[in-house]
Amino acid sequence: MSITQLHHIFLQFPDVCTDTRKITENCLFFALKGDNFNGNDYAEAALEKGASYAIIDDSKYAGLDKTIMVDDVLTTLQALANYHRKQCNAKILALTGSNGKTTTKELINAVLSQKYKTVATVGNLNNHIGVPLTLLSIKEDTEMAIVEMGANHLKEIEFLCSLAEPDYGYITNFGKAHLEGFGGIEGVIQGKSELYDHIIGHKGTLFYNADDPIQLDKLQDYNDKYGFTQKREGNHYTINFLKADPFVSLQAEETIIRSHLIGSYNFTNCCAAILIGHHFNVPINAVQKAIETYVPQNNRSQIIENNGRQIVLDAYNANPTSMKAALENFSNLVGGPKIAFLGDMFELGTSAPLEHQKIADLTTQLNLDMVFLLGEHFNKTDGPASKYKNFEALAPNFKDIGLPNKGKILIKGSRGMAMERLLDLL
């Protein structure tokens, strides 16, 4: 079956599903394979649960009614998504970066949806499967699609851009994330900049942080760009940081915007959404409403009140750049005592020992009263912090560590550390 024929079927049954636990009536089930599963084995179950068709690539299931046999399900899903993107009138805005992608995507979507019909990446489904699913969520009346792109190695952003063919692009920052896959910070810069390369090559529009010397240098020779700044120089859109205690407040034009986002590191995420809203003529009062009503979820910079303690839960993910920013911001908060629970940072490769030691050293220089380090890497660091090989080593002794009844607590670590489990102990 050709992609054109499959797209015709998709238009009749536009809900796409890759998980039989989430089957919806009359959806298209794509039987993807993984390291530990074969979606073809679930095709019959998907059809029994109400899927209209199952797209498969295993001939032993070809005899099932309402199956569509293809050479490879994943490449078919990707090709269908790209074909659908070409048929849509929606403008595509892609964003990537080392930190803040999902929060920035949510803020941009909140702002643009004040004026336009939008779709955006759900959660952080930003890989070679998530991007196609986002593209296939674009409807006939969608005007703007915000597509988040993640990567942990070179050429990944380039490939995702080939699927989404974005008209606009934004990179949050270049930080120490996925160093193992990228081979170092220079690899990170090169990999993330593949979005710049695509947009420039297709004469699209780029948004950027004009106070970031890397972004400024990368885009110095490109004209179709719009930047934000605090420095009040050049032709950039000026946004002033006011405070972050604990939530970020800022001023754009003559309007003060008070967000529900913790930490000065979220200032640039807000700035990107404000700049993009300004470019697309969203009124500043609507921009203000969008940002002020956005509340982060899923363990991302959440404030939790807990029996006289204020918990800063930032446990969705971590890398050296975001860990440093979170610690410095937490240290500057008013009130105390201040206690930090930090979990290992993953995917750092040979840099892991050095980067974990740097964070351990940083905790001794900041205004912190107690520091607890969890994980294989942090457990091997030097310094006065209390160290535990894993969460299971801490849990039985938690009542004996002597936490004060009041104060502020930071919880941060990579997703695999599941640091939110500390909430049950607290």
Please report how the helices 284-292 and 101-112 are oriented relative to each other, as an axis angle in degrees rounded to 10: 130
Give every residue of the chain whose pLDDT is below 70, as ranges: 232, 298-299
What pLDDT, on the 0 to 100 scale, is given for residue 232?
A: 66
Is the Cβ–Cβ distance between 152 and 182 less than 8 Å? yes
Q: Do 165 and 202 form a contact (C-beta atoms < 8 A)? A: yes
Structure tokens at 312: 């800063």
* Rounded Cα distance, 317 and 419, in Å: 9
What pLDDT, on a 0 to 100 scale, did the predictor assign at position 205? Answer: 98
Q: Are 53 and 65 in contact (CB under 8 A)?
A: no
pLDDT at 245: 79
**Calpha distance 263→52 (Å, rounded):** 47
| The 67-69 sheet, strands edge to edge | 16-17, 28-30, 53-56, 67-69
- CA–CA gap between residue 269 and residue 283 (Å, rounded): 19
Angstrom distances, CA of residue 60 to CA of 52, 65, 238, 370: 19, 13, 61, 60
- Reported pTM: 0.87
Q: Which pLDDT does position 63 carry in this prediction?
A: 85
**Residue 76 has which token pair?**
């078919």
| Domains within the chain, CATH numbers bracketed | 3-73 (3.40.1390.10), 88-292 (3.40.1190.10), 302-425 (3.90.190.20)
Q: Rounded distance, CA 169 to CA 275, Å?
A: 13
- Nearest to residue 414, comparing CAs of 311, 305, 299? 299
